[in-house]
Amino acid sequence: MSDEEHHFESKADAGASNTYPMQAGAIRKNGYIVIKNRPCKVVEVSTSKTGKHGHAKCHFVAIDIFNGKKLEDIVPSSHNCDVPHVNRTDYQLIDISEDGFVSLLTENGNTKDDLKLPTDDNLLSQIKDGFAEGKDLVVTVMSAMGEEQICALKDIGPKN
Domains of the chain, first to last: 19-84 (2.30.30.30), 86-155 (2.40.50.140)
pLDDT band for position 69 (cuts 50, 70, 90) = very high
Average pLDDT of the residues in 11-30 = 77
Buried b (16+ CB within 10 A) or exposed e, 112-135: eeebebbeeeebeebbeebbeeee
Q: How many residues does the chain have?
A: 160
- With CA atoms as reference, report the closest residue to 54 among 78, 30, 73: 78
Contact 23, 79 (CB under 8 A): yes
Average pLDDT of the residues in 128-139 = 86
Average pLDDT of the residues in 100-122 = 86
> What is the pairing mode between strands 147-158 and 87-96?
unpaired
What is residue 44's predicted lDDT score, i.e. its pLDDT?
95
Contact 65, 144 (CB under 8 A): yes
Average pLDDT of the residues in 100-112 = 87
What is residue 42's predicted lDDT score, i.e. its pLDDT?
94
Average pLDDT of the residues in 25-46 = 92
Alpha-carbon separation of residue 16 from 19, 31, 47, 65, 105 (angstroms):
9, 21, 31, 21, 25
> Mean pLDDT across the chain, nearest whole number?
84
What is residue 46's predicted lDDT score, i.e. its pLDDT?
92
What is residue 54's predicted lDDT score, i.e. its pLDDT?
76
Average pLDDT of the residues in 124-153 = 87
Indicate if the pLDDT at residue 6 is higher than 80. Answer: no
pTM for the whole structure? 0.76
pLDDT band for position 120 (cuts 50, 70, 90) = confident
Alpha-carbon separation of residue 63 from 45, 70, 91, 142 (angstroms):
12, 4, 25, 15
What is residue 52's predicted lDDT score, i.e. its pLDDT?
72
Residue 124 per-residue DSSP state = H
